[in-house]
Structure 1
Amino acid sequence: MAGNSQRRGAVRKSGSKKGMVVGSGGQRRRGLEGKGPTPKAADRPNHKAYKDAQRSGGTSGGGSRSGGSRRGKPSSEMIAGRNSVVEALRAHVPATTMYVAGRIDSDDRVKESLKLAADRAIPILETPRGELDRLTDGAVHQGLALQIPPYDYAHPSDLIDPEAPGIPLVVALDGITDPRNLGAIIRSVAAFGGHGVIVPERRSAGMTASAWKTSAGAAARIPVALAGNLTRTLEDFRKAGFFVIGLDMDGDVELPQLELSTEPLVVVVGSEGKGLSRLVSETCDQIVSVPMSSSVESLNAGIAASVTLYQIATSRAAR
Structure 2
Amino acid sequence: MAKRKGKGPTPKAEDRHWHGKRQKARAVKNAKRTGTQTMGPGARAARAAEGRPAATGRPAGARRANGEVPELVTGRNPVVEALRAGVPGSTLYVSSGTDERVRESIQLAADRGIPLLETGKNELDRLTDGAVHQGIALQVKPYRYAHPDDLLTGTAPLIVAVDGITDPRNLGAIVRSAAAFGATGVVVPERRAAGVNAGAWKSSAGTLATIPVAQATNLARQLKAYQKAGCFVAGLDARGGVTVADMEIAAGPFVLVVGSEGKGLGRLVADTCDMLVTIPMPGKAESLNAGVAAGIALYEVSRLRS
TM-score scaled by length of structure 2 = 0.78
2:157 to 160, 168, 172: 168
1:77 aligns with 2:68: no
1:98 to 92, 103, 107: 92
RMSD of equivalent CA atoms: 2.3
Please state how far the C-alpha of 1:273 moved relative to its aligned partner. 1.7
1:245 aligns with 2:245: no
Whether the 8 Å contact between 2:97 and 2:103 is mirrored in structure 1 is no
Please state how far the C-alpha of 1:189 moved relative to its aligned partner. 0.5
Q: C-alpha deviations, 1:200-222, integer Å up to 9, x for none?
A: 01110000100001000100011
1:107 to 96, 99, 123: 99
Please state how far the C-alpha of 1:142 moved relative to its aligned partner. 1.4
Unaligned runs of 5+ in 2: 1-19, 26-31, 33-57
1:184 aligns with 2:187: no
1:87 aligns with 2:81: yes
Provide the rounded CA distance (Å) in 1 between the counterparts of 2:245 and 2:168: 28
1:210 aligns with 2:204: no
Provide the rounded CA distance (Å) in 2 between the counterparts of 1:302 and 1:196: 15
Please state how far the C-alpha of 1:125 moved relative to its aligned partner. 0.8
Partner of 2:112: 120
Whether the 8 Å contact between 2:65 and 2:196 is mirrored in structure 1 is no
1:308 aligns with 2:297: yes
Provide the rounded CA distance (Å) in 2 between the counterparts of 1:137 and 1:95: 19
Q: Residue 311 and residue 79 in structure 1: after superposition, are their counterparts in 2 closer, same or farther (change >3 A)?
A: same
Please state how far the C-alpha of 1:229 moved relative to its aligned partner. 0.6
- The number of equivalent residue pairs is 255
Structure number, greater radius of gyration: 1
- Is the partner of 2:286 in helix, strand or coil? coil
Whether the 8 Å contact between 1:57 and 1:76 is mirrored in structure 2 is no
Whether the 8 Å contact between 2:60 and 2:129 is mirrored in structure 1 is no
- Is the partner of 1:96 in helix, strand or coil? strand
Whether the 8 Å contact between 1:247 and 1:288 is mirrored in structure 2 is yes
TM-score scaled by length of structure 1 = 0.75
Please state how far the C-alpha of 1:56 moved relative to its aligned partner. 3.2
Please state how far the C-alpha of 1:58 moved relative to its aligned partner. 7.8
Provide the rounded CA distance (Å) in 1 between the counterparts of 2:65 and 2:103: 32
1:269 aligns with 2:263: no
Whichever residue aligns with residue 122 of structure 2, its letter is G
Identity percentage over the alignment? 59
* Higher share in helix: 2
Unaligned runs of 5+ in 1: 1-36, 42-47, 49-54, 65-73
Partner of 1:30: none
Whichever residue aligns with residue 178 of structure 1, its letter is D
Whichever residue aligns with residue 137 of structure 2, its letter is A
Provide the rounded CA distance (Å) in 2 between the counterparts of 1:286 and 1:253: 8
- Is the partner of 2:89 in helix, strand or coil? coil
Provide the rounded CA distance (Å) in 1 between the counterparts of 2:167 and 2:278: 22
Partner of 2:128: 136
Q: Residue 284 and residue 300 in structure 1: after superposition, are their counterparts in 2 closer, same or farther (change >3 A)?
A: same
